[in-house]
Structure 1
Amino acid sequence: MALPLLLDDALVATDSGFALRVSLPWIRSMPLAAVTDLSVRVDGSPAAVTIRLEGRDVEPRALAAEQGWWFIQDRLELRGERMLPPGAHDVSVSFELVVPYLQAGPTGPLTLPFRAERALGLGDTASPRPHRTAGQSTVREPEAARQGDAGDWTISASAFNWTPEVIRAERPAADIAVGIAADGVASTIEVEAGQVWRSFPEPSDAEVDAFRERLAAAGGAVSIVGASLDDWASPTRRRTEEERLAFLVPQLRAAARAGARGVRVPFGQPGPELLRLAQPVLDELGVVLYEEIQGQQTLDVPAVAANLEQLVQLDDPRIRVLIDISMLMPALPPSYLEELRRGGVDEELVRRLETEWRAPETHRAVIETLREGRVPPAVHTLFMNLLVRFGRSDIAELEPLLPLTSGVHLKFWDLDDTDGRVSRPIGDIGAALRRTGFAGTLTSEWGGHEWLDADPATTTRSHLDLARRALAAASVAAR
């Protein structure tokens, strides 16, 4: 997995024992209170640990009362009083992570188990690794290659593509994002508030201003800010509508201050009452709230259809739709299928996924495999992409969305374009948008870093080139 819990230098010696520095295996910063059921074993034996937070030691069970946040680039330092001899040690850590912006049912948020086990050498220092300045060792492309336009449309790159690098924390997240422009990958970028700003979920003016100025100096600008709407204040208490608004507004203000067009949230998550409360704020700040529809969401689901009807009735230019073309996958990425094979998923099912991805029978086989407990634990999370992130829709099914659409994620997983599995959805959405007078942004977003260890800059450059060609071809065909 590309989002590891334990990096190579995770285990270090201290004066009284050891420290195990655990990385956050998620795509944004999380509340400390979201970490539950923490357990550590060293060389096969349970190890009692405390968590070091700003110079004080906290028992794992006391994290539930903490008000602070685990920034995506920080490591949670677990301290044990056992002295360890020099050399390698078998270390395992496990915990559950409550995801406050994803609901698992009517009664509470999604909770995911995480576990990592590996041999780690015992280091002799807890000092952080040095950061690299953005653009330090990268050759800049000619100015023409940095332009983000395909005809009259703006093509941008998402900083989300660099998530594994953000988690490795070899340089600050802001440096990584600025480097997308400074290194000539794209001059317009989409950023995640929970990745780029340490002060998330209430980004400070100073931090936002510094980022905007540095990005502008590198010739870049922000298109959209990926926001979060944490519906759950705790595993048992859902926020009120006013509290939800209060959680979202600082991110809206940060996006406006950063010069972004708006913020992005999941399709249908705000709901009618929050949208009503947010409308005056959106008008005041001059930003757009984008509701992103993606993966296996379809317009024939009553809740999705009802939300679309609500947006149509609102007819508010400050509340728009963002389509992620993961909805339009003609086939599954070969790299993903290979990962399922390596993980021990039944070969007959993998072959069916390879050749009959869109068949209803294949979907039923996926459900049956999951219900019968035949998914190996090592790839359980990866397997869930088949039910959530990978869609089977055709472009004609998205027609009702197009008049409200002001943004598109050109989602890709790998660059294998056999039979147009990458370029065809781009061309399809491009041709459809031409008919509606679309004037928003199209953003290269890579989801395959979950299982692929590839250079994000090289991968994103290649995808941007492919996307421009596919959009240009669609534009010519539409004339």
Structure 2
Amino acid sequence: MTVTALRDDALRTAPDGFTLLLGLPWIRSLPVASLVDLSVAVDGQSATDVTIELDGRRVAPTALGAEDTWWFLQDRLTIRGSTELAPGPHVVAVTFRLVVPYLQAGPDGPLTLPFHLERTLTADASASGPATARTSSLRERPVEPRAAVPAGWTLTASAFNWTPEVVRAERDAAEIEVGIVADGIVSAIELEAGQLWRSFPDPDDAEVDAFRRDLEAVGGSVSIVGASLDDWLSPARRRDDDERLAFLIPQLHAARRVGAAAVRLPIGQAGTPLLRRLVPVLHDLDLVLYEEAQGQQSPQNPATAAAFDAIADIDDPHVRALVDISMLMPSLPPSYLERLRTGGVEEAFLDAVATDWRDPATNGAVIDLLRADRVPAEVRTMFMNLLVRFGRSDAADLRGILPLVGAIHLKFWDLDDEGGRVSQPIRDLAAELAAVGFTGTLCSEWGGHEWLDEDSATMTRAHLALASSALDARARDRV
């Protein structure tokens, strides 16, 4: 998401120097305090006196840790400097670290990502003009009509698929998400609270109500709200369970207010003590909390198995599991491999993981390459998908936990279905779900926009058609 962090109109002159508008290079709103070690250089000269404008105040970068303001995904921070700029283009470089408070990098702190953004910008340039649709290589490809899915199964789509559009901020996030239904893609959506509501993480009632009215006006509804649990208040201080509960409660109320039946968290993140404290709240709000397992979080993973056991021990229909089909990848997405190739990852390594992704030894090869510092910086973050987001399980491996499952994410990365790479895991899982009498939602979720510049609506429509056909064919074989 770094492409939109420094846009064409980011650099502006001011009576006392310059301003620079910095977009958030992430997929969810974050605390302003997440911006760490900020430095700015213009034409190779460091700007030593920069400040950030917050609510009419100028705050030194080193003082951001004391701020409780949030950085909404579609907003840009105003950075001020005293350097006077001549007309014409200037090379602007911005370096910082971004603390991600809901993702843990180890036992002692949250994930912290380094960023270095550099562009040639013209001072006081206009924005690029009116929003235009993204070009797509799929636009001319006919989309097959959707097949019927078994009774009790509901196909939905995740608003996460539209992350690139939300980040570009050419339209309001709420307008984009209402448009998913208005354009006839689906009638029910999953939404991400941290992408949609400016008032996140304590969504304002009026903002929530306005979105619900607009969505219902086009015949839409919300199935699940993706909630967030920010475990870290700062890189050095973790929230205790009272603070974690207080962080979650407003999101639960917003989910109920928007009409959702459920909320979603990563599996195991809450922990059993907090889950038990949440149960009476979930009962009062008539919400289900789904803990989502994805990628390499298979039931054979000891930590994930313990989290599934905790759900079973709580034994309450308001706490259930959600399975992401990224656990069941027979091979790696060709588009992903091509992006790593163009990013400079070693050809021999790529050939090996492409040929036999399911071989557990590939995990060791991934780690070896990282430890040897042989992964180019340009694709290092993407490369981590090989350790986290891409799984090697079979549908049969899930049989023991499927009675706990009330929702499915049909994660897809691209639409290259050669050899059934996309459709076969859906068919296999559908057979297992039919065998246990599953009812619930199956949500199209696109993860490939990290490296594919395709139109979100086009990708989602095509995937829903492919998925419905696979679900219908295999599930009915087993019913």
TM-score (norm. length: structure 2): 0.94
Whether contact under 8 Å (2:155, 2:444) holds in the other structure is: yes
Task: Give distance in 2, aligned partners of 1:453 and 1:7.
Answer: 17
> Which whole-Å CA distance do the structure 2 matches of 1:227 and 1:400 have between them?
26
Hey, what does 2:217 align to over in structure 1?
217
1:185 counterpart letter in structure 2: I
**Contact 2:221–2:259 at 8 Å: present in 1 too?**
yes
CA deviation map 1:269-301 (0-9, x unaligned): 111110111011000000010000001112223
CA distance in 2, matches of 1:149, 1:5: 42
RMSD: 2.0
Query: Partner of 1:439 in structure 2?
Result: 439
Q: Does 1:6 align with 2:22?
A: no
Deviations 1:179-235 (A, max 9, x none): 000111111100000011111000011111110010000111000000000111111
How far apart are the structure 2 equivalents of 1:419 and 1:4?
A: 36
Aligned-pair distance for 1:358?
Answer: 1.3
Q: Deviations over 1:148-205 (max 9, x none)?
A: 9623211011000111111111011000110000111111100000011111000011
Mapped to 1, the partners of 2:169 and 2:111 lie a distance apart of 26
5 Å-filtered alignment, 1:379-394, equals 379-394=379-394
Structure 2 residue identity aligned to 1:113 = P
**Match of residue 150 from structure 1:** 149
Distance apart, 1:312 and its partner CA: 1.0
SS at match of 2:374: coil
Distance 1:451 1:224, change over 3 A: same
Give the Cα separation in 2 of the matches to 1:427 and 1:66.
49
Given that 1:148 and 1:155 are in contact with CA atoms closer than 8 Å, whether structure 2 keeps it comes out as no
Please tell me whether the aligned partners of residues 96 and 116 of structure 2 are also in contact (alpha carbons under 8 angstroms): yes
Secondary structure at 1:114's aligned position in 2?
A: strand
2:242 corresponds to which letter in structure 1? E
Q: Alpha-carbon deviation of 1:260?
A: 0.4
Q: How does 1:366-385 map to 2 (within 5 A)?
A: 366-385=366-385
Q: 1:130 to 1:253 in 2, by over 3 A?
A: farther
SS at match of 1:104: strand
In the TM superposition, what are the counterparts of 1:317-466 in structure 2 within 5 Å? 317-466=317-466
SS state of the match for residue 473, structure 1? helix
Contact 2:331–2:354 under 8 Å retained in 1: yes
- Structure scoring higher RCO (CA < 8 A, sep ≥ 6) equals 2
Distance 1:327 1:123, change over 3 A: same
Conserved? CA contact 2:91–2:121, under 8 Å: yes
Q: 1:315 to 1:221 in 2, by over 3 A?
A: same
SS of the residue aligned with 2:268? coil
% of aligned pairs identical? 61
Write out aligned runs for 1:288-303 (5 A).
288-303=288-303
User: How many Å separate the matches in 1 of 2:255 and 2:128?
Assistant: 30
1-structure distance, mates of 2:476, 2:150: 11
- Which residue of the partner structure matches residue 96 of structure 1? 97
List gaps (5 residues or longer) in structure 1.
133-143
| Cα distance per residue 1:29-83 (max 9 Å; x no partner) | 0011111011111111212321111211111111111011000000111111212
| TM-superposition CA deviations, 1:291-326 (whole Å, max 9, x none) | 000011122232222221121121110001000111
The within-5 A match list for 1:267-278 is: 267-278=267-278
Q: Residue 400 of structure 2 aligns to a residue in which SS?
A: helix
Aligned counterparts of 2:4 and 2:419: Cα–Cα separation in 1:
33
Q: Which amino acid aligns with 2:110?
A: P
Cα–Cα, structure 1 residues 263 and 3, in superposed 2: closer, same or farther, change >3 Å? farther
Distance 1:414 1:12 in 2: 39
Q: How does 1:19-418 map to 2 (within 5 A)?
A: 19-48=19-48, 49-124=50-125, 150-152=149-151, 153-418=153-418
